[in-house]
Amino acid sequence: MPTSALRPLRLAGRLLLALTAAAALTVVFLALIVLTDGAGSGLAAWLATLAVGAAAALWRSRSRTGAARLVPFVPVVVAAALTASVCIPTAPTARRYPPALPFVATQHWSLGTGSRVAVYHYPPAGPGTRHRVPLVYLNGGPVRGVSLLDHRFLQLLARQGYDVYTYEQAGGGRSDLLPMDQYTISRSVRDLGAFVQHLDRGPVDVLGFSSGAVVLTRALADPSVAVHLHRTVIAEPGPMDGPTTRVTGQRGRPSARGLAPAVTGPRSTHLPRYAVAFGLMRFGLLTPDTGLIGQAEGDNAFTAADLGSDTASAYCARDAHRIPVEDSTGNFSFSPAASLRIQQTVKDSPSLAPHLRRSKTPAMLMIAECSSQVRRWETAVLGADPAIERTQYMPGVGHHLWNGLDHNNDRAAAVITAFLQGKRAPLPNYPTREEIPEFLRDHK
């Protein structure tokens, strides 16, 4: 073969070797990020990778002369440039809280637990009956701000005569951050008890949704908190304890996950630093209090678009192309590290059932037809809590029961208010405890 024909092949071969070397150094960098838990914003791993690459390049260049001695350093420079982007913050490292909402005042309460939480109050606004027992709402997340969609639903309940309070759990929304090791499911339960005590209005009704329903379920099993609860609504709960987190199986009817158009807007996970940090945390390879990114920086960086298909999974498949915008860019807040930390403490907790069986607080369970939750997470609560008086299987909705579509908000409000007032349920009591096996068998 002529020399002129061999040159492109040699060049391609050298280029491939250089890319392979750069990729290998990148893998070394990621491994060191894991081993050092991202120490020093990743600089410890970056400097170690640079040292390894430089040592290898020096060894390869020892027998070369002139400019050829520099060639082995090219992959090192390329890898250093690529991995440096993981070490440089592009979001503020001090917490930037969402701006004030124009339609409700943000109060800040310092609770007896040490948490300082953002509180929103919707006094009774309708012309009809005023209900004397306050209603407290625990939103999902965990450690997520209360969405505008939720605020609109709470306003609806206030127009029906309820004195509605909600607060963003410690670390979420406009609430102050906690040290990472203080984010636990038991702290969330204690915060609920402390919030009710701070309210100082006697026992309250509580509506808990998703992870907020988990906090509420665990509160029902804690006599020191349950004594402050009047009536409770457990809406679409996640796993309540360690044994339940290990349960798998069917979910509800098909959701819009994989069917809905991709969420638009900026994503922190499109940037190398946050893609690496959040990805490794999600797989358990970095701890929530990793040295790679601080809690405040992670909160500032994370966007609604980063939730991606998680949002779509909260809606029925039939609603895939009309999913409402749940929140504004300015109001959205989610703490991925604190959320993972709380979820881990749920996974590490022993069975709640023996304590929940002693619950005497009247409760209602709400289950969505297109729920993205594992059905046995929901039926585990029903089977363990003897004080659950009714279950309401909500047709035509996904995990987010009050989603602003059609008349779903009104239907959800009717179910909740009927129970809180001790009135006849709008829907059949289904499934009952005795019907759990049939409910699971029929894949409802």
Identify the pLDDT of residue 14.
59
Please state the rounded mean pLDDT for residues 114-129. Answer: 92
Q: Which tokens belong to 74?
A: 């090219």
* pLDDT-derived band at 264, boundaries 50, 70, 90: confident
Q: Which of 191-200, 306-315, 356-365, 411-420 has the lowest mean pLDDT?
A: 306-315
Checking if the pLDDT of 368 tops 80, the result is yes
CA-nearest of 42, 98, 88 to 303 is 98
> How high is the pLDDT of residue 2?
54
Phi and psi dihedrals of 414, rounded to 5? Answer: -65, -40
Is a pLDDT exceeding 90 seen at residue 21? no
**Confidence bin at 58 (pLDDT 50/70/90):** confident
Give the pLDDT score at 7.
59
Residue 4 is predicted with a pLDDT of 55
Spatial distance between the Cα atoms of 75 and 81, rounded to a whole number of angstroms: 10
Cα 320 from Cα 301, distance rounded (Å): 27
Q: What percent of the chain has pLDDT over 90?
A: 81
For residue 74, the model assigns a pLDDT of 83
pLDDT tens digits along 326-359: 999 999 999 999 999 999 999 999 999 999 999 9
pLDDT of residue 136: 98
DSSP collapsed to 3 states, 86-152:
HHCCCCCCCCCCCCCCCCCCCEEEECCCCCEEEEEEECCCCCCCCCCCCEEEECCCCCECCCHHHHH
Q: How confident is the model at residue 43 (pLDDT cuts 50, 70, 90)?
A: very high
CA atoms within 13 A on the CB side of 197: 14
Give the pLDDT of residue 59: 82
Closest CA to 345 of 166, 235, 180: 180
Strand partners, 166: 120, 137
What is the predicted pLDDT for the residue at 289? 94
Classify domain 107-441 at the CATH topology level: Rossmann fold (3.40.50)
Per-residue pLDDT, 428: 97
Rg of the chain's alpha carbons, rounded to an integer?
26
Q: Return the pLDDT at 62.
A: 72
Q: Where are the domains of the chain?
A: 3-87, 107-441
Q: What is the pTM (predicted TM-score) of this model?
A: 0.93
The string of pLDDT tens digits covering residues 139-148 is 998 999 999 9
Q: What is the pLDDT of residue 431?
A: 97
Contact 166/145 with Cβ under 8 angstroms? no
Mean pLDDT, to the nearest integer, of 352-370? 97
Across residues 83-96, what is the average pLDDT?
95
Report residue 366's pLDDT band, with 50, 70 and 90 as the boundaries: very high
Backbone angles phi, psi at 235, to 5 degrees: -105, 115
pLDDT at 66: 66
Average pLDDT over residues 119-146: 93
